[in-house]
């Protein structure tokens, strides 16, 4: 992938501090279909004063009888488990469409690669950042970036705006934590 495609895309290894799950019963106004599962991860990004959350949500595709067909948009949750070395088939109960308590506990202290990207400029004039809901194994930064660019090209990610970066790229590199991969 050429350097131009990396503009406004940053990856970093992060550690899960806490994990919680919800099984929403209603559809949000912006959704076409309600989620079956919402997994919220509290992350250690190397800053004691800041522990952001990453929310992974999705639904499972079901057969006409309501049984499991495939992971649907909940694939990103399967990818997370695979990325941290937990067998997703053991973690996700395909009859109840739930994550076991044991699997949630196993997520704590696990590391994965997270991708953040520029979505525009905030009202205060600073660069606006968003976290992508797909992750990868630690060390697979380039694979994750390539997958993100493919998602942009296929218009699955529609708010990536590298030209909106309010700072010069070299200035950003000076301020970004050295654990980030540009």
Q: Note whether 100 and 150 are same-domain residues.
A: no
pLDDT of residue 30: 83
* 181 part of a folded domain: no
Residues 69 and 129 in one domain: no
What the block records as the tokens of 38 is: 């919402």
Tokens of 62: 């079901």
**Same domain for 127 and 47:** no
Q: Answer whether residue 182 is part of any domain.
A: no
72 with 151, same domain?
A: no
Residue 90 maps to a domain: yes
Per the CB < 8 A criterion, the answer to whether 46 and 177 are in contact is: yes
- Which contiguous run of DSSP H or E holds residue 165? none
Q: Are residues 38 and 70 in the same domain?
A: yes
Residue 3 has pLDDT above 60, yes or no: no
Range of the domain at 149: 3-10+115-175
Q: Indicate the pTM of the whole model.
A: 0.81
- Please tell me the predicted confidence (pLDDT) of residue 165: 63
The percentage of residues in the chain with a pLDDT greater than 90, rounded to a whole number, is 63
């Amino acid at each position: 992938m050429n350097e131009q495609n990396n503009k406004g895309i940053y990856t970093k290894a992060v550690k899960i501090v806490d994990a919680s799950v919800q099984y929403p019963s209603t559809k949000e106004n912006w959704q076409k279909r309600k989620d079956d599962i919402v997994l919220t991860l509290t992350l250690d990004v190397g800053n004691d004063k800041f522990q952001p959350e990453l929310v992974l949500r999705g639904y499972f595709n079901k057969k006409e009888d309501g049984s499991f067909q495939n992971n649907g948009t909940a694939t990103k949750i399967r990818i997370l488990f695979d990325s941290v070395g937990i067998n997703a088939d053991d973690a996700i109960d395909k009859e109840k469409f739930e994550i076991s308590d044991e699997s949630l506990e196993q997520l704590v202290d696990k590391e994965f690669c997270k991708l953040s990207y520029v979505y525009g400029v905030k009202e205060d004039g600073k660069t606006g950042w968003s976290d992508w809901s797909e992750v990868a194994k630690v060390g697979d930064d380039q694979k994750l970036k390539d997958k993100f660019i493919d998602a942009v090209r296929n218009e699955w990610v529609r708010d990536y705006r590298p030209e909106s970066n309010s700072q010069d790229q070299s200035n950003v590199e000076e301020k970004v934590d050295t654990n980030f991969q540009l």
